Amino acid sequence: MLVALLVACIATSQAEDSYLAVTASGSGQLACSIATPVRLEGGENAEVAREIADALSFDLTLSGLFQVAAGDPERGGIRQGDFSFAPWKMAGAKLLVKSGFSVTAPDRLTVELRLYDVLQEKLLASKRFTGSSKEARKMAHAFSDEILRIMTGEAGPFTGKIAFVSKRSGNKEIYLMDYDGRNVQQLTKNRSINLNPDFFPNGRELIYTTYKNRNPDLYRREITTGAEAKVSAQRGLNVTAAVAPSGDRIALAMSKDGHSQLYLITPQGKQLARLTNSPALEVSPAWSPDGKRIAFVSDRLGRPQIFVMDADGTNVRRLTTSGSYNVEPRWAPKGGRIAYCRQMGGGFQIFVMNSDGGESSQLTSEGSNEHPRWSPDGRFITFSSKRGWKEGLYVMRADGTGQTKVSRSGGSDTHPVWSP
């Protein structure tokens, strides 16, 4: 178990005035140097040092707030008085991340990280973590979250996980990984087709559709224990399920009454309501953050388009008016935007529109891109992309910049979803 102890977290009002304005991706970037992690006690461990520095650099670069630089104009300690700010100033750094670690038997790792304002020569934040050496990256991600909190007033999402579908075993199974593609864990091993994972708000459970019983049934699964329970096994489709923000309802598409329509059920599978009743195919429900509305896909006008309705199925209205084929809506955590996919040419591209259907903008253009899902803070989007022969998982900033591949397997990876 990773244990974090907040040793100090100091942000002066003057520093906040300087830093809180640095929120726009690609603009107002601050030069941030990441010093090579140093050994504090115990034996040397080059792998731990490399993992800490790599995770910090990956996170802060992706954020778009920083011009990240590595290298050491000096090799002092990590505490004020144990190193000089002067070489860092000469190198152009405005911020400095110093870190040190101790590896003690048996496999006990302690990491201390500090963020400094180089120009003012002030400590902005300090944290100490203890755990196993395998958790070095997790500790660095946690400090990156803290850096974003200091800089913007809101913590980052870098300790989050991504659940996804992969064919790396030969079958479409559900996997879990760190958001940057590390520490991959296979969750299902039923040698069947498994699709559309979605997290419960507590982040400890997820739902997914599986064909393991020769019908697309909906299951829920505890991530840590692996315990599973059947939620919906109606004849025909039980697909594209989405858990409500409250965690007490699930919206999904079922075809038990003839063709695909949207329903509400409890996490135990009890039907609460039928939301749609039309001759069209209705799929892919997506909850608004307040749980009051649901976006969804319908071909009631002849081609798939995105609509929205109140959570009781009333007040249906069309959102997408451009493009002949729009699918896979997903509401941003703060509610103002919806990400979705539009068919263009021989593939799909990811767009974002206002939640009222206005001001649509295209985020991707290379390859074919699908399954957009927001990070819990709304700063980033994870998605699957086919750029070459196989599909892989990517992350990008919410404005489409910084597109970075994070999956590392030779198999096809799709359907990502970021944990709360």
In sequence order, which ranges of 93-243 are alpha helices (DSSP H)? 136-152
Domain with CATH 2.120.10.30 in the chain: 161-418
Helix (H, G, I), strand (E, B) or coil at 143: helix
In sequence order, which ranges of 68-185 are alpha helices (DSSP H)? 86-90, 136-152
Nearby residues of 351 by Cβ (< 8 Å), 6 or more positions away: 326, 339, 340, 341, 342, 360, 361, 362, 363
DSSP state of 119: T
pLDDT tens-digit profile of 176-205? 999 999 999 999 999 999 999 999 999 999
Share in percent of the chain as helix, strand, coil (round to 5): 10, 45, 45
How far is 399 from 339, CA to CA, in rounded Å? 11
CA neighbor of 94 nearest in space, from 124, 64, 54, 127: 124
CA neighbor of 283 nearest in space, from 294, 292, 269: 294
- The greatest distance separating any two alpha carbons of the chain, rounded to the nearest whole angstrom, comes to 73
pLDDT for the residue 25 = 46
For residue 232, what are the β-bridge partners?
A: 218
Amino acid at 267: P
CA geometry: angle 194, 200, 204, nearest 5 deg: 90
For residue 347, what are the β-bridge partners?
A: 344
pLDDT for the residue 105 = 74
pLDDT for the residue 389 = 79
CA geometry: angle 312, 256, 214, nearest 5 deg: 125
Domain with CATH 3.40.50.10070 in the chain: 3-152
The kind and range of the H/E element at 18 are helix 13-19
pLDDT for the residue 8 = 38
Residue 323 phi, psi (nearest 5): 85, 145
CA geometry: angle 279, 280, 284, nearest 5 deg: 140
How far is 56 from 53, CA to CA, in rounded Å? 5
pLDDT tens-digit profile of 113-166? 999 999 999 999 999 999 999 999 999 999 999 999 999 999 999 999 999 999
What tokens were used for 326?
């729009």
Helix (H, G, I), strand (E, B) or coil at 142: helix
pLDDT for the residue 252 = 98
pLDDT tens-digit profile of 205-233? 999 999 999 999 999 999 999 999 999 99
pLDDT for the residue 305 = 98
Residue 134 phi, psi (nearest 5): -70, -10
CA neighbor of 62 nearest in space, from 372, 403, 366: 403
393-to-63, 93, 152, 190 alpha-carbon distances in Å: 18, 33, 27, 22
pLDDT for the residue 42 = 79
- In this prediction the pTM is 0.93
Total residues found in the chain within this entry:
420
Along the 420 residues of the chain, how does pLDDT read in single tens digits?
454 433 333 333 334 444 545 434 445 799 999 999 999 987 788 999 999 999 999 999 999 999 999 889 999 999 999 999 999 999 999 999 999 999 987 789 999 999 999 999 999 999 999 999 999 999 999 999 999 999 999 999 999 999 999 999 999 999 999 999 999 999 999 999 999 999 999 999 999 999 999 999 999 999 999 999 999 999 999 999 999 999 999 999 999 998 999 999 999 999 999 999 999 999 999 999 999 999 999 999 999 999 999 999 999 999 999 999 999 999 999 989 999 999 998 999 999 999 999 999 999 999 999 999 999 999 999 999 999 878 999 999 999 999 999 998 877 999 999 999
The kind and range of the H/E element at 37 are none
What CATH fold (topology level) applies to the domain 161-418?
Neuraminidase (2.120.10)
pLDDT for the residue 242 = 98
Q: Is the peptide bond before 106 cis (omega within 30 degrees of 0)?
A: yes
> Is 355 within 8 Å of 335 (Cβ atoms)?
yes
Task: Report the DSSP pairing between strands 108-117 and 122-131.
Answer: antiparallel
Return the residue matching tokens 């405005």. 94
pLDDT for the residue 19 = 56
Q: Hey, which bits of 167-302 come out as E strands?
A: 173-178, 185-186, 194-199, 205-210, 217-222, 228-232, 238-243, 250-254, 261-265, 271-274, 282-287, 293-298
Residue 78 phi, psi (nearest 5): -110, -10
pLDDT for the residue 41 = 87
> Please, what's the b/e burial string for 188-215 (b: 16 or more CB within 10 A of its CB; e: otherwise)?
beeeeebbbbbbbeeeebbbbbbeeeee
For residue 207, what are the β-bridge partners?
A: 198, 220
What CATH fold (topology level) applies to the domain 3-152?
Rossmann fold (3.40.50)
